Amino acid sequence: MVVITIAATLLKFNNSHSAVNVATKLVVICKDRFDIDLQAIASGGGSDTANAARAVQNVLGIEQNDCTMHIVSLLLLYSIGMRENYKTEKTVDKMGKEMKIRYIVTPGGAFPFGSKIIKALRDIANYFGSSLQLRDDLETIKNGAMLPLQNIKSPGETRVSSHTTLLQTAMMNHFALTLYVMQTKDNTFMKLWDNCKQELKWKV
């Protein structure tokens, strides 16, 4: 089997993203770029279980295997330190009391303090998301400094893309946050900022 990777998503697609339109466009791209009849040779496809991706696979008439994409997602999560696999076992102490011991089975990967910085950034996102006044205060600073008005987004923890979105939007807000910390007197924010203000973490 020859595996061919095609970065079709790099092509801007302004039409309706219906399953039929997307599937048709993929077929056209494969034909134009590689002279491959995608509909004739594709036997299976994987997605992150998104309904839109499944619908495209239905139109192409190929077998769906969402586990493949899930495995890729898990590999990324573990390798960048966003996840660790724990196991909890029951034991009995010297006094005869039953207790639980939790230990790591599969450790996270090489991304230093990845899960800690993600949690710290998520806490900051939740801080500004908790109050319209706080969001307005930060937006005022952004307007005054002519910075992007993009808010820090924290979509959740289920997928790698969620962490990517959080990191990207946090980086966009880094300078605004450094200005905010000089103006606010809120101890709650100061404590949150202490957890992720180190320059090394932002470099990572």
**pLDDT of res. 45:** 80
Provide mean pLDDT across the span 109-115. 66
| Backbone torsions φ then ψ of 92, nearest 5 degrees | -120, 130
For residue 97, count CB atoms less than 10 angstroms from its CB and return exposed for 0-12, middle for 13-18, buried for 19 or more.
exposed
**pLDDT of res. 106:** 78
Indicate the helix (H) or strand (E) that contains 88. strand 85-92
**pLDDT of res. 91:** 87
- SS3 at position 124: helix
Q: What is the bridge-based pairing of β-strands 98-106 and 85-92?
A: antiparallel
Convert the pLDDT of each residue in 191-202 to its tens digit. Answer: 999 888 776 667
When pLDDT is cut at 50, 70 and 90, the band that residue 48 belongs to is low
Q: Which residues contact 104 (CB under 8 A, 6 or more apart)?
A: 84, 85, 86, 87
Q: What is the bridge-based pairing of β-strands 85-92 and 63-64?
A: unpaired
Query: Could you tell me which of 130, 113, 119, 122 has the C-alpha nearest to residue 169?
Result: 122
- SS3 at position 126: helix
Provide mean pLDDT across the span 31-47. 85
Residue 79's alpha-carbon distances to 20, 47, 58, 112, 132, in angstroms, are 35, 20, 32, 11, 36
DSSP class of 9: G
Contact by Cβ (8 Å): 81, 63: no
Amino acid identity of residue 43, one-letter, is: S
The tokens of 39 are what? 């509909």
In whole numbers, what is the pLDDT of the chain averaged over residues?
82
